[in-house]
Amino acid sequence: MFSSDELMALDRRSLIRNAMLLVGAGMTANPAAAVAKTAAKSAAKTPRFFTPAQAAVLAEVAEIIIPRTDTPGAKDAGVPAAFDAMMRDWASTQHQVQFRSVVDEFVAAGIMKMKPADRVALVARTDAEKMAAWDPAYVGFKQLVMTLYYLSDAGATKELRYELVPGSWDAWVPVTPNTRAWAA
């Protein structure tokens, strides 16, 4: 794992690379395309790695981590289906066990029986505790949720700014409240 100094130095590219390595996605020269393809194939199917109850919890927790605002949330971006596909098709047994245990903790806490505000409070409390203790299973889980979101079409084009072929180089770009970070 990383020391706290190394973690502070991680940028978005490192985060994505590490999350992909975490689940063993050295499968192609273009992991983003492979993730999108895998997610698209499983989006309409029922989950095959997680049980339906676990999949519902995964979807709820992912949506709380990345909620729908003026941009799509994790559910809209297909993060739960992509997560299930990554666990089923690419993750090592160790990571499958770790990530299933993270989901099972939320199942055991009864998150789906709670009111929406209580669900958010539970995830916020769990997040604060697990991140403070630097629980590798939870940190990896959260990294993968974020990575899958920002590799999705919605995350890369609606949350981040994306131009397939960028325009001219501008030395000075005014930043406004509506300015978004670049996806690539």
Q: Please say whether the beta carbons of 76 and 154 come within 8 A.
A: yes
Q: Round to whole Å and give the CA distance between 42 and 165.
A: 30
Q: Please say whether the beta carbons of 60 and 119 come within 8 A.
A: yes
Q: Which pLDDT belongs to residue 42?
A: 46
Q: Is 24 left (phi over 0), alpha (psi -120 to 50) or beta?
A: left
- Mean pLDDT on 95-111: 97
Share the mean pLDDT of the chain. 83
Q: Which pLDDT belongs to residue 27?
A: 45
Burial category of 158 from C-beta neighbours within 10 Å (exposed 0-12, middle 13-18, buried 19 and up): middle
Helix extents (H) in 66-92: 79-89
Put simply, whether the predicted model's pTM sits higher than 0.75 gets the answer no
For 124-151, write each residue's pLDDT tens digit.
999 999 999 999 999 999 999 999 999 9
What is residue 59's three-state secondary structure?
helix
Q: Round to whole Å and give the CA distance between 70 and 88.
A: 31
Which tokens hold the place of 172? 């000075």
Q: Mind giving me the DSSP string for 59-121?
A: HHHHHHHS--SSS--TTTTTHHHHHHHHHHHT--HHHHHHHHHHHHHHHHTTGGGS-HHHHHH
Q: Is 170 left (phi over 0), alpha (psi -120 to 50) or beta?
A: beta
More confident residue, 19 or 147: 147
The domain spans of the chain are 4-159
